[in-house]
Amino acid sequence: MLRLEAIDAAYDGTRVLWGVGLEAKAGATTVIVGPNGAGKSTVLNVVTGLLRPSGGRVLFKDEDITRLPAHARPERGIAACPEGRRLFPQLTAEANLRLGAYTRRARKDADATLARVYELFPRIRQRARVKASRLSGGEQQMVGIGRALMARPDLLVLDEPSLGLAPKVVTEIFETIRRLREAGLTVLMVEQNAYQALRVADYGYVMQEGRVAKAGPPDELLDLEELRRSYFAIS
């Protein structure tokens, strides 16, 4: 469904990605792990259109979307929950959710999609009329993921969904990701919690210093020695 080919990228002339290639297959959960500063979130910025690569191509459903602006990608089927959620704090949980259904593809089925989101996150149904600023971190993360789902995406992009959350909430979030995968949604996720992420993944990439250091099925990447080498450059 999604393929990155030889992606180079930079911020203000400082290069952060070197020839990155990866694929997120339809109906699968693909995880990108690695240490801070490895370029993981930059890859997602390229996928969502927030950063235009200086080299390489982004293909989605076999179409070159490298130059497609970020605001046009949800209509094509790409929706994201960014790191830190970025909710509108003075709007209610439900108002934040409904903002995700602004595209033509999502608008007509917004009520049905909202009902599905509430099935995934029953706690948010109970907190629907509460302002986002008054929600717990875990509840905000649920709203952030739910808002992305309101766009009815073919590809859901998640950036650090467990960041700063209590262990019990982290378990809930990863259980939801597993359920989405079982329902056939394609998921591309960046996550610091490599072990939790790889347990719900079909395929993974380990990044180091702006490059893909290793790729393979979860069973291979969960090898402690290999992860230590990729995370901490221990030979």
The answer as to whether 61 is a domain residue is: yes
pLDDT of residue 163: 86
pLDDT of residue 224: 54
The answer as to whether 22 is a domain residue is: yes
The answer as to whether 124 is a domain residue is: no
CATH of the domain at 229: 3.40.50.300
pLDDT of residue 46: 98
pLDDT of residue 220: 86
Question: How many structural domains compose the chain?
Answer: 1
Domain that holds residue 33: 1-72+190-235
pLDDT of residue 194: 85
pLDDT of residue 75: 94
Residues of the chain with pLDDT under 70: 224-235
The answer as to whether 175 is a domain residue is: no
pTM attached to this predicted model: 0.91
pLDDT of residue 227: 65
- Give residue 37's region: left, alpha or beta (phi > 0; psi -120 to 50): left
Give the model confidence (pLDDT) of 18-48 as tens digits: 999 999 999 999 999 988 889 999 999 999 9
The answer as to whether 216 is a domain residue is: yes
pLDDT of residue 228: 62
The answer as to whether 162 is a domain residue is: no
